[in-house]
Structure 1
Amino acid sequence: MSRVPVAEPLTVSAVLLDLDGTLLDTVPDLHAAASGMLRDLGRPELPLDSIRSYVGRGIPNLVKRVLSASLAAAEDASPPPQDALDSFRRHYAVENGRNSLPYPGVIAGLDALKAMGLPLGVITNKAAAFTLPLLELSGLAAYFDVVVSGDLLPKPKPDPMGLIWACGRMAVSPADTLMIGDSVHDFHAGRAAGCHVFLVPYGYNEGQDVRNLDCDAIVPSVENAAQRIRHRTATQIKNSA
């Protein structure tokens, strides 16, 4: 798929969105939890920008990256030390949602998507124990028809399993679905599922510039994404068959 020109709205039947780095800036909470974990382990804390660069593959990989102060730690398939993981989760249960905020244009964008009658879903690698409270605390939960957390299915992003499962729950084809994310993992998951893909340039991309990816569009906000699409209704699908 090539990028969609602004003058040609993309027609879709549903929209899936990433959570951390796309809808919410959750780094302040993650940094507080990581700092608590490092204090528990008697280790020096890391700056917030380091934590920002490590986000993207779920909490176990975040813990490994924090402990090694390296992005490459996520390439090691071994789990993080259990005491560190338990400590992080304990602190994050307290910090989750305290300082996370929607990015500019998120609320207006979600309102516009709902006004179009589009079913919406969240696809995140964050565990359900943190995803669901975060959506409630941030006021975003009511927007979504389906939530796929990182531990719901056997394979998280960049595997397409969660996107395909969500499309099934919403009774739409992946080919008629738009994935909006902020990272290379969202891009690869969306492409592998057969979805259209919009990417925002402001999120957690693990040091990779998403503007180099062959997505359908780079959008400055979720609100802008909503302005570039229209709802393909069931009647339109039937008539085009």
Structure 2
Amino acid sequence: MVISTDWQAAIVDLDGTMIDTLGDFVFVLNETLTALRLPNVDRTFVERTVGKGSEHLIRSTLTEVGAAPALYDEAWARYQHHYARVNGDHAEVFAGVNEGLLRMRECGMKLACLTNKPTAFARVLLRRKGLEAYFSVVYGGDAFERRKPDPLPLLKACEALGSEPACTLMVGDSSNDALAARAAGCPVVLVTYGYNHGEPIRAVDADAFVDRLDELPLSC
């Protein structure tokens, strides 16, 4: 991609981009399933399923284990309880993330965290992992009436940051992030190590790919 000197801000995804949260998801889902006397799921299933919000994850999990859809409300309540209890316990910040965020801030870019994870969980996770101070705003999947891959959350984040979409870099790990960025008119860079619904990340339409967040093509 052409390295821009005009980037005013960046919108950064959370799960799979900044923090490896698969361990949290696997633990919480299996605690929930065990309480419901249902079979557990493995890391491979979770990796290809996360990224579209908690509702999608829970419904997909119930389908995967052959449970009745009517169990959704109870599963949702148990999932929320367990996630609030262990948020971040089984998660790790990816290598290069702190350095990459610091570099963006040093380049004068305002930062927003935009995730499909519920906002309250996102804020707690960022705080627990020492990343919260980098961000001017944090928006989760419950912040707006639509979530990624819809462009609305990106456009709202641009408004909050005071930046034009064309000058606001989207940094993510999946087709959800890329589709939302394209529709919003934002340039998009994807990391190669995240969770892309079990599909090859380099097959996604993006402006560039990086193996670490501190490899972003910044010009300052």
Range into which the TM-score falls when normalised by the shorter chain: over 0.9
Mapped to 2, the partners of 1:68 and 1:181 lie a distance apart of 27
Asked whether the equivalents of residues 8 and 108 of structure 2 are also in contact (C-alpha less than 8 Å), the reply is no
Superposed displacement of residue 151, structure 1: 0.5
Q: Of 53, 78, 91, which aligns to 2:48?
A: 53
State the superposition RMSD in angstroms. Answer: 1.6
Q: Where does structure 1 differ by over 6 angstroms across 4 or more consecutive aligned residues? A: none
Who is 2:21 aligned against? 26
Q: 1:80: how far off?
A: 7.0
Q: Whole-Å Cα distance in 1 between the matches of residues 164 and 121 of structure 2?
A: 28
Q: 2:155 aligns with which of 152, 164, 167?
A: 164
Q: What secondary structure sits across from 1:10 in the alignment?
A: coil
Following superposition, the deviation at residue 208 of structure 1 comes to 1.7
SS where residue 179 of structure 1 aligns?
strand
Q: Calculate the TM-score normalised by the size of structure 1.
A: 0.86
Match for residue 36 of structure 1? 31
Q: Determine which of 4, 7, 10 is the counterpart of 2:4.
A: 10
Say whether residues 1:94 and 2:88 are aligned partners: no
Give the partner amino acid of 1:56: G
SS of corresponding position for 1:229: coil
Q: Deviations over 1:192-229 (max 9, x none)?
A: 0100000111111101212112211011111001xx12
* 8 A contact 2:174–2:197 mirrored in 1: yes
CA distance in 2, matches of 1:99, 1:165: 31
Does residue 222 (structure 1) correspond to residue 213 (structure 2)? The answer is yes
| 1:146 is the counterpart of 2:141 | no
Unaligned runs of 5+ in 1: 71-77, 232-241
Deviation digits for residues 75-106 of structure 1, max 9, x if unmatched? xxx99710011111111111111121111110
Give yes or no for contact 1:60–1:79 (8 Å, CA) kept in 2. Answer: no
Tell me the residue number matched to 1:68. 63
Partners of 1:139 and 1:128 in 2: how far apart? Answer: 16
Q: SS state of the match for residue 33, structure 1?
A: helix
Output the CA distance in 1 between the equivalents of 2:166 and 2:108. Answer: 18
How far, CA to CA, are the matches of 1:80 and 1:230 in structure 2? Answer: 51
Q: After superposition, what is the alpha-carbon deviation per residue over 1:92-130, rounded to whole angstroms, capped at 9, x for unaligned?
A: 111111121111110111111111121011110111121
Structure 2 partner of 1:113: 104
Find the partner of 1:203 among 194, 198, 201.
194
Answer whether contact 1:96 1:130 (CA < 8 A) is retained: yes
Superimposed CA distance per residue, residues 142-174 of structure 1 (whole angstroms, 9 cap, x where no aligned partner): 000111111011001001111111111111100
Give the number of aligned pairs.
216
